[in-house]
Structure 1
Amino acid sequence: MIVVTAPTAKIGRHVVEQLLDAGERVRVVARDPRRLSPTVHDRVEIVEGSHREAAVVDKAFAGADAVFWLMPGDLRAPDVMTSYVESSRPGAEAVAAHGVRHVVGVSALGRGTAVADRAGNVTASLAMDDLFAAVTNYRSLANPSFMDNTLRDIRTILGDGVISGPLAPDRELPLVATRDIASTAARLLLDRDWTGFAEIPVLGPRDLSGNDMAAVITDVLGIPVRYVQVEAASLEAAMLSFGASPGMARAMADMATAKTRGLDEGVVRTAENSTPTTFRQWCEKVLRPAVDAARS
């Protein structure tokens, strides 16, 4: 039995589908089971509730062989350590109590870099990893920024022909599709011939700059799009406008600043840590349909 948390999120839903396709028994922890796709709902065991709650994870992890752990950020939390570490503590305690032998978690690049201790969400994610690594065999999926984050720019793409970010326009960094993160997670959950703690970098096929991304989007959508560099402070203000607490808004700005200072550049690219989906493929399969839907 494999337990999947956040099964309706971008990564989690793909993990569930791939595990089911492989013939695995799957149990999901879902706050709203109605959000599960009809093709999944009747093929999984469902524990209703939040995996932040001790009673929920205690029930969900009983008899489990492995767990996929994805802790979404909580904009209302007072700070990132509460959002990621304290919210994950009941999960780690349930893993230990039920003797779950393998956990795969969604985390971030940055461990070992000079800025990892002041990188907002990433700093908390690395501390969350340590929580699970202390009680079981654990694999941390060390991710850069997601291609899927570009979906947040649909309004400005259509309104102003702009995507934005904190990096210089020609600064290249790794970028990954959430579907590829899910595939890596599913592989590790299906083949549990591993022990101890390790980070698994998931880098995408090549590094890209903001200018590179804008050029691909322009070509795929057929409209001119350019990249604009923004200050980290503007990201903090945007998060506050979305209802984030001051601590969580500050953490987003800290993470953005850390990325400009080398947070995602501590891992050497190899064939093993380079995933297949290109940014162009992602734009064609995900961004273009989303843009078309926004236009209609």
Structure 2
Amino acid sequence: MQIAVTTPTGNVGRHVVAALLRAGVRPRVLLREPARLDPGVKDDVDAVRVDQYDGDAVVAATRDVDALFWVDPTTGSEDPLADYARATDAVVRAVTENGIRRVVFQSSVGAEKRHGAGEIDGLAHTETALDALGVDVTHLRCGYFFSNLELQRDALRAGSLQVILPLDQPMAWVAPRDIAEVAVGRLLSPAWSGRCVQAVHGPADLTWRQVAGILTAATGRRIAVERITDDAMRTQLSRAGMTDGLVEAVLGMSTGLRENFVPEQRRTQVSTTPTTLAAWTYDHLRHEIGDK
């Protein structure tokens, strides 16, 4: 089986590549800059330089591929949803023209809304486009990545987190490596077919107050969490260099899911993965933000 992996240096993709190698698979990896590959894996993969927004390039890079792990690339433009549409057009062309029969797509909790969830709407568009192709496709509806906390290192060092969600609203939190393990299981398993939605919810739903407590215990630094207004967060994102369009898309991922939202896939044994936020924080953040 020839398996292609997009974003192989990303939070999830690098773990997908490693797990495939452990399974004895030599994957084809698609990325903009092959030089960014981990030196430890570059001799064991077939790297292809690809811009995922370039349909011709994606089609050429996925010839003779049996299964594809697709992640819509990150965007920093004024119109993120237009970028998602371009990436979707590229994967649709690749699957159609190359006869790829199996796709595992990294989606998100909230994509089931289809509209009104900011940047997640772009993932919803990819879901529906892949569904229309009639191939075997699994959409991984993932919870909030633990690794998003790494984007707030400075705030964590200062002992604070600012969010726009209610502090006692629980949501699914998940380790990227656990998502990768689910993805690889789906890529390699012959036991499923048709359209599937696989939730990846992590070990527990957590509120932001609980998250602050876990971070405090794991790092030894007291972390306080504060709810701020949408406009205050909008200002912070703009000062960080985001375009106005991207600011609204990022905000929408929270505002679109905070009013009576319940994930379509409820937590079950199948959707629950093992890595805890405490364990992940101890491994990834303790040395950077811990109280010295």
Shorter-chain TM-score: which interval?
over 0.9
Contact 1:84 1:124 in 2 (8 A): yes
The corresponding residue for 1:68 is 69
* TM-score normalised per structure 1: 0.92
- The amino acid of 2:115's aligned partner reads D
Give matches, 1:87-126, under 5 Å.
Answer: 87-113=87-113, 116-126=114-124
- Separation in structure 2 between the aligned mates of residue 93 and residue 262 of structure 1, nearest angstrom: 37
In the TM superposition, residue 240 of structure 1 has moved relative to its aligned partner by 2.5
| Displaced runs of 4 or more, over 6 A | none
- The amino acid of 1:82's aligned partner reads A
In the TM superposition, residue 264 of structure 1 has moved relative to its aligned partner by 5.2
- The amino acid of 1:142's aligned partner reads R
Contact 2:221 2:289 in 1 (8 A): no
- Separation in structure 2 between the aligned mates of residue 209 and residue 99 of structure 1, nearest angstrom: 43
- The amino acid of 1:10's aligned partner reads N
Deviations 1:125-174 (A, max 9, x none): 11111112222221111012111111122101112x11222222222111
Q: Gaps (5+ residues) in structure 2?
A: none
- Separation in structure 1 between the aligned mates of residue 35 and residue 152 of structure 2, nearest angstrom: 28
In the TM superposition, residue 290 of structure 1 has moved relative to its aligned partner by 4.1
Contact 2:52 2:73 in 1 (8 A): no
The corresponding residue for 2:141 is 142
Give matches, 1:125-204, under 5 Å.
Answer: 125-135=123-133, 136-159=135-158, 161-204=159-202
Contact 2:112 2:124 in 1 (8 A): no
- Separation in structure 2 between the aligned mates of residue 8 and residue 88 of structure 1, nearest angstrom: 20
- Change over 3 Å in CA distance of 1:170–1:244 after alignment to 2: same
- Change over 3 Å in CA distance of 1:238–1:128 after alignment to 2: farther
Percent identical among aligned pairs is: 29
- Change over 3 Å in CA distance of 1:46–1:111 after alignment to 2: closer
* TM-score normalised per structure 2: 0.93
The corresponding residue for 1:3 is 4
The alignment yields a C-alpha RMSD, in angstroms, of: 1.8
Contact 1:232 1:256 in 2 (8 A): no
- The amino acid of 1:153's aligned partner reads Q
Contact 2:88 2:125 in 1 (8 A): no
Give matches, 1:247-258, under 5 Å.
Answer: 247-258=245-256
Q: Gaps (5+ residues) in structure 1?
A: none
Does residue 84 of structure 1 match 2:87? no
- The amino acid of 1:32's aligned partner reads E
Larger mean CA deviation between 78-87 and 170-179 belongs to 78-87
- Separation in structure 1 between the aligned mates of residue 12 and residue 53 of structure 2, nearest angstrom: 18
- Change over 3 Å in CA distance of 1:112–1:37 after alignment to 2: closer
- Change over 3 Å in CA distance of 1:197–1:18 after alignment to 2: same
- Separation in structure 1 between the aligned mates of residue 27 and residue 49 of structure 2, nearest angstrom: 14
